[in-house]
Amino acid sequence: MHILKALFVVNSTLSYVSGQALVVTADWYPLFVVADIPIEAINTVLHKATIEWKKHNQGEGDPLFQNRWVLIEAPNQTTFQKPSTGPLEHFQSEFIGATIEELVQFAEQNLGKREGAMGRGNASRLDHITNEIFGVLDTRTAEDGTLIFVSSDLISAEEEARMRWVWGNGSRRDEALLRYSNWSHEFPDATDADVAILARDVEQPLQNVILSDELGVPNQDAVLGLSNYSTTSEVSESEREKVGQWYDNVATNGREVWIGIRLPADDALWNIYGIFFRGGVDFLMYPENDFDETGAMQMTLEMAMAMEGH
């Protein structure tokens, strides 16, 4: 299905299967400010979101590209502008310094469609502030006009290894897992040294949040450069069995993570619906030319149309 058409045929369901559509059943997306940035930077983001629909030649009533941001100023906030359009004269965020993990916890506990949730309205069944995704304005917002879009997805251990390798940040363990999983027929076979590394690290702590601007620089050809490490390590049968059980029962099964992808404010809503269609994990596993050297997504309407041959 072509990307331009696909953005208009999404279903009103939320899927946590990586690579599948992620669609939020809510009218409003929470927007947090975690750095002490000038109010002009905040107003610029809100203004760009308010007029973005004009860039994509959609009618003002088109639900896909309307501004859906709602600023969350304080944990005990009771009134909300839906959407937040600005210009703001005064704004004091009580989320300065908050981490993505802390914002996830706040959203899950306080937002959503449940009775009594913050910002829940009565205009329609979708009149609530979602706890499934959110936006973050940080120090880079004032520097380059970007924001972080955070959504949940499923990722397996081998997908996570491939993601880090493609972004130039893969570890020796990641390489061992890519060999062992035989992710591509172009990879060399796993060595005894690879199995020994996996046997040692099967209990390695897992990440709960993955951010595009902390991954490195995407290089789609990086996975083809796996090295031929020595096969001299001795591996016992019990270690081989341990790795095999871990791989079958854990490494290939998805676990929920929060994916943070940096977006330019100019095309934030356009990029968000691209993420809805593909999923954040899929974008980070196959970045191709969708990101610049700072880890910010750069897919514009013009680029998508060029891909479609328009």
Q: Tens digit of pLDDT for each residue in 5-46?
A: 333 333 233 333 444 555 566 789 999 999 999 999 999 999
The predicted-structure confidence for 247-279, as pLDDT tens digits, reads as follows 888 777 888 889 999 999 988 988 888 888 888
The long-range contacts involving 108-116, CB below 8 angstroms and separated by at least 24 positions, are: 110/75, 111/30, 112/26, 113/25, 113/26
Give domain status of residue 310, yes or no.
no
- Strand (E) or helix (H) holding 31: strand 29-33
Based on the domain organization, do 56 and 135 belong to the same domain?
Answer: yes
**Contact predicate 43/58, CB 8 Å:** no
Q: What percent of the chain has pLDDT over 90?
A: 30
Residue 122 in this model has a pLDDT that exceeds 90: no
pLDDT value of position 3 = 35
pLDDT value of position 8 = 30
142: Cβ contacts below 8 Å, ≥ 6 apart: 35, 37, 38, 41
User: Considering its fold, how many domains does the chain have in total?
Assistant: 2
Q: Residue 149 forms beta bridges with which residues?
A: 135, 261
More confidently predicted of 54 and 100: 100
Average pLDDT over the chain reads: 80
**Contact predicate 282/163, CB 8 Å:** no
Based on the domain organization, do 228 and 103 belong to the same domain?
Answer: no
Report residue 125's pLDDT band, with 50, 70 and 90 as the boundaries: confident
Based on the domain organization, do 271 and 227 belong to the same domain?
Answer: no
Based on the domain organization, do 150 and 166 belong to the same domain?
Answer: no
pTM to 2 decimals? 0.83
Domain ranges, residue 113: 3-154+256-304
- Pick from 138-142, 178-182, 286-290 the range whose average pLDDT is largest: 138-142
Region 201-229: mean pLDDT is 67
The predicted-structure confidence for 159-198, as pLDDT tens digits, reads as follows 888 888 888 888 888 888 888 887 655 556 788 888 888 8
Q: Residue 211 forms beta bridges with which residues?
A: 260
Q: For tokens 């004269």, what's the residue? A: 89
Give domain status of residue 309, yes or no.
no
